[in-house]
Amino acid sequence: MLQVSFLRQNRDLAKKKLAIKHFAQPDLVDTVIDLDDERKQLQASFDETQAKVNSASKEIGAMMAKGDKEKAEATKTAVGEWKKQLEPLKEKMAQVEIDLQNALVQFPNLPHDLVPLGKSPEENVLVREGGVLPKLPADAEAHWDLIKKYNLVDFETGAKITGSGFPLYIGKGAKFQRALVQYFLDFNTAAGYTEYLPPFMVNAASAFATGQLPDKEGQMYHATEDDFYLIPTAEVPVTNIFRDVVLKETDLPLQMTAYSPCFRREAGSFGKEVRGLNRVHQFEKVEIIQIVHPDKSDEVLNEMVAHVEKLLVSLGLPYRILRLCGGDMGFASAITYDFEVYSAAQERWLEVSSVSNFESYQTYRMKCRFKDAAGKIQFAHSLNGSSLALPRIFAAIVENYQTEVGIALPKALQPYFGTENLI
RNA sequence: AGAGAGGUGUCCGAGUGGUUUAAGGAGCACGCUUGGAAAGCGUGUAUACGGCAACGUAUCGGGGGUUCGAAUCCCUUCCUCUCUUCCA
């Protein structure tokens, strides 16, 4: 969430940056400032009247103690008048605050200066590429055929149990998931991240804090009986650990990693892009999250990008890193790098990680602050990234490591899986 | 799921309608004291909003209500503990 004080001081800059994100209503900036002016004015007169009520009430107490009943009754009448004035003020103030809040949450985060202009994924900027394309056998198959052939994943039975997009992993397929999760977590904790295993459902306050509500309401599964949401990413519960918390400056940076299943309704998805494991409603992911000093977040973002890159290199997959353009970025992000691996059999790039700096957008929303050396309270910056999302890594490894006789494994995974080859 | 007891500041803890302007203790910070430390003494020690400031307003788990006045009374909700029940 953007801060009114920032919008007030940087009215034109904010509008310019919102345009990069293709935000449709720049005038909302003015609306918000007007509403905030109105709120201030209302609060000033409310406080003034309330102060009179408070001190008169205290006097009544003193009069009663002295037994001066008559005077007390007279003061009560006067207080009654003030309280009548308070009622409409209170209502108006509550309404203005709701309007202000409703307007504020509509703003996406402002893009970082490095964010390229552009509207669609084609305008993302290639930062670098790495890895080598595999030499596949002549009759190379896509992963949806391979997993059927080797009985690694059963989509049909998953669909029977739940619905489409809920894969059932079997035998070596299931074990491979476990090996990947374990490898990713070990890789992250070795780099200094603390491992968490969070709740897989969150309440509305948590979903709001990280920006899933109200923006992505329809994208989450909602358990209405208890009003809980199934998490779309571990980012939601883990970042919320620090909701309504004032940290010490020395606590920073906080580095967390967590495995979780992720649940996404993916309403409106269709076509070839969603085949097999390319897009599913439930998938596994290991996430990295950091809460850092605002001066450090640019630097930390680069570190996190380098960290994920190292992990991809260890898997021997051809990859590229893209800096997303303003139109392709997420709502809450200030700058995002996407990682894609090349699936040789599908002949297309698959997004496997997205690393973002949210700056103070999430931390302001959830009141995650720290006390600096001077004793001043500041909002921290939050960042997160996938390290990594499993299904497309699964797909890419199965496709890129296929041989005439089976499926090989990257060296790094062999000790985790227990054998040299997957099949 | 049923019954009961609770939720107060960084922590412990007092407080059942009116100098509570949240007692007292601990911790922490600073100062005095000391050769240095400890003890002792003194001062300070939440957040948000408004205000140049003085200061004002709000917050005793959350929300609502009663009252001139609520940490205190009422309703509601969340959470914790104990017992019963159930369960991996």
Q: Name the closest nucleotide to A41, judged by C1' and CA.
A: B50
Q: What is the pLDDT along chain A (423 residues), one digit of tens a residue?
A: 899 999 999 999 999 999 999 999 999 999 999 999 999 999 999 999 998 998 888 888 888 777 777 888 888 888 888 888 888 888 888 889 989 988 998 999 999 999 999 999 999 999 999 998 888 888 899 999 999 999 999 999 999 999 999 999 999 999 999 999 999 999 999 999 999 999 999 998 899 888 888 777 788 999 888 888 999 999 999 999 998 888 888 888 999 999 999 999 976 555 656 678 888 999 999 999 999 999 999 999 999 999 999 999 999 999 999 999 999 999 999 999 999 999 888 889 999 999 999 999 999 998 999 888 777 889 999 999 999 999 999 999 999 999 999 999 999 999 999 999 998
Rounded distance in angstroms from the CA atom of residue A171 to the C1' atom of nucleotide B87: 29
The verdict on residue A111 lying in a domain is no
A229, β-bridge pairs: A202, A222
Give the separation between CA A155 and CA A277, rounded to whole angstroms: 9
Q: Are residues A33 and A137 in the same domain?
A: no
Rounded distance in angstroms from the CA atom of residue A26 to the C1' atom of nucleotide B72: 50
Q: Are residues A237 and A344 in the same domain?
A: yes
Structural domain span for residue A27: 4-104
A336 neighbors A354 (Cβ within 8 angstroms): yes
The verdict on residue A380 lying in a domain is yes
- Cα angle A164-A170-A171, degrees, rounded to a multiple of 5: 170
State which of A73, A104, A135 marks the end of a domain.
Answer: A104
Q: Name the closest nucleotide to A43, judged by C1' and CA.
A: B50
Rounded distance in angstroms from the CA atom of residue A278 to the C1' atom of nucleotide B9: 52
Q: Are residues A12 and A146 in the same domain?
A: no
Give the separation between CA A292 and CA A255, rounded to whole angstroms: 9
Q: Name the closest nucleotide to A246, judged by C1' and CA.
A: B47
Q: Are residues A96 and A190 in the same domain?
A: no
Rounded distance in angstroms from the CA atom of residue A16 to the C1' atom of nucleotide B16: 59
Tokens read off for A46: 């409310």
What torsion, rounded to 10 degrees, do the Cα atoms A193, A197, A200, A203 define? -80
State which of A57, A79, A104 marks the end of a domain.
Answer: A104
The verdict on residue A223 lying in a domain is yes
Rounded distance in angstroms from the CA atom of residue A317 to the C1' atom of nucleotide B14: 65
Q: Name the closest nucleotide to A227, judged by C1' and CA.
A: B78
Q: Are residues A237 and A311 in the same domain?
A: yes
Q: Are residues A216 and A83 in the same domain?
A: no
Q: Are residues A47 and A159 in the same domain?
A: no
State which of A71, A104, A137 marks the end of a domain.
Answer: A104
Per-residue pLDDT of A5-63, as tens digits, reads 999 999 999 999 999 999 999 999 999 999 999 999 999 999 999 989 988 888 888 88
Q: Are residues A201 and A339 in the same domain?
A: yes
Q: Name the closest nucleotide to A56, judged by C1' and CA.
A: B68
Rounded distance in angstroms from the CA atom of residue A197 to the C1' atom of nucleotide B18: 50
Q: Are residues A127 and A87 in the same domain?
A: no
Tokens read off for A268: 């409106």
pLDDT value of residue A270? 59
Q: Are residues A56 and A145 in the same domain?
A: no
Give the separation between CA A404 and CA A55, rounded to whole angstroms: 88
Per-residue pLDDT of A310-343, as tens digits, reads 999 999 999 999 999 999 999 999 999 999 999 8
The verdict on residue A406 lying in a domain is yes
Tokens read off for A186: 């070990």
Nucleotides of B under 7 A from a protein CB: 18-19, 21, 46-51, 56-58, 68-69
The enclosing domain of A269 has a CATH number of 3.30.930.10
Q: Are residues A258 and A141 in the same domain?
A: yes
Nucleotide B62, nearest residue via CA and C1':
A205
Q: Are residues A397 and A254 in the same domain?
A: yes
- Binding residues for strand B (Cβ < 7 Å): A 36, 40, 43-44, 46-48, 50-51, 53-58, 60-61, 64-65, 76, 79-80, 83, 246, 369, 371, 377
Rounded distance in angstroms from the CA atom of residue A357 to the C1' atom of nucleotide B81: 41
A125 neighbors A322 (Cβ within 8 angstroms): yes
